[in-house]
Amino acid sequence: MIDLPRQRSKAAVRDRWRLKKWYNIVSPEVFGGIPIGMTPADEKEKLYKRTIEVTLFDITGDYSHVNTKLKFQVVDIVENNAYTVFKGHEILRDYLRSLTRRRSSKISAIINAVTKDNAKIRVTVATFTQYRCKTSQKKVVRKIMEDIIEGKSAQSTFDEFVRSAVFSENEDSLASEVAKAVKRICSVRKVEITKQKVIEIPSMVKEREEAGESRQVEEQGALS
């Protein structure tokens, strides 16, 4: 005997998928403005504010970047391209656990940074030492991390700051600057910017987001 209701249900699911259109997800310019994947939607308005997570490896092809997870959000859609802004990054916990050693210290700090184009970013930074530090040393190290990150953000645009935080292997990266300064206080094994969370995007990005929302409203009005 044929289960007709179930058969119709499966057909309805297939029909919904046929109606969906595929859109290219485009990374922000700071990450090359390149396609990083595709996503389906039956109505493109449903893509606005959609969050996409990829690894830095997916963008660079460099296997050393596989532990860095990036978060983007769709703010504009033009034809079949969904353009995104950077919303944050995070280092995978398994990798961070691998950096922890016995008889050593992990010194963390959470800093609210403001860039010169008025973006607000909450940054988490961690210094991993060779040997266990004294409480007084930890206090000095945290102050150094705070001063460097606040100073760097005040001198950088949103894109510049994001890049210096994510690409930690660069000589002028945030992690490298912190490591050089902290070495005067204690022996450093590794410094990582473990997390960024964008609290407020810069004005130029906000204008693009608002333009995308306006375009969405106009297109809906034209169709109604």
Specify whether the CB–CB gap between 27 and 83 falls below 8 A: no
Q: Do 98 and 144 have their domain in common?
A: yes
3-state secondary structure of 46: helix
Q: Could you tell me the sign of the dihedral formed by the alpha carbons of 152, 155, 157, 160, in that order?
A: negative
Instruction: Tell me whether residue 7 is in a domain.
Output: no
**Residues 114-150, buried b or exposed e (16+ Cβ, 10 A)?**
ebebebbbebbbbbbbeeebeeebbebbbebbbebbe
Instruction: Tell me whether residue 12 is in a domain.
Output: no
Q: Do 80 and 173 have their domain in common?
A: no
Strand partners, 40: 22
Instruction: Tell me whether residue 1 is in a domain.
Output: no
pTM for the full model? Answer: 0.83
Instruction: Tell me whether residue 116 is in a domain.
Output: yes
Q: Do 102 and 190 have their domain in common?
A: yes
Instruction: Tell me whether residue 117 is in a domain.
Output: yes
Instruction: Tell me whether residue 13 is in a domain.
Output: no
Report the distance separating Cα 77 and Cα 164, nearest Å: 28
Q: Do 164 and 183 have their domain in common?
A: yes
Instruction: Tell me whether residue 3 is in a domain.
Output: no
Instruction: Tell me whether residue 40 is in a domain.
Output: yes
Report the distance separating Cα 84 and Cα 49, nearest Å: 9
Structural domain harbouring 162: 92-200
Domain count, the chain: 2
- Ordered per-residue pLDDT tens for the chain, 224 residues: 445 455 555 554 455 656 678 999 999 999 999 999 998 888 888 889 999 999 999 999 999 999 999 999 999 999 899 999 999 999 999 999 999 888 899 999 999 999 999 999 999 999 999 999 999 999 999 999 999 999 999 999 999 999 999 999 888 899 999 999 999 999 999 999 999 999 998 876 666 565 555 555 555 554 44
CATH number at residue 184: 3.30.479.30
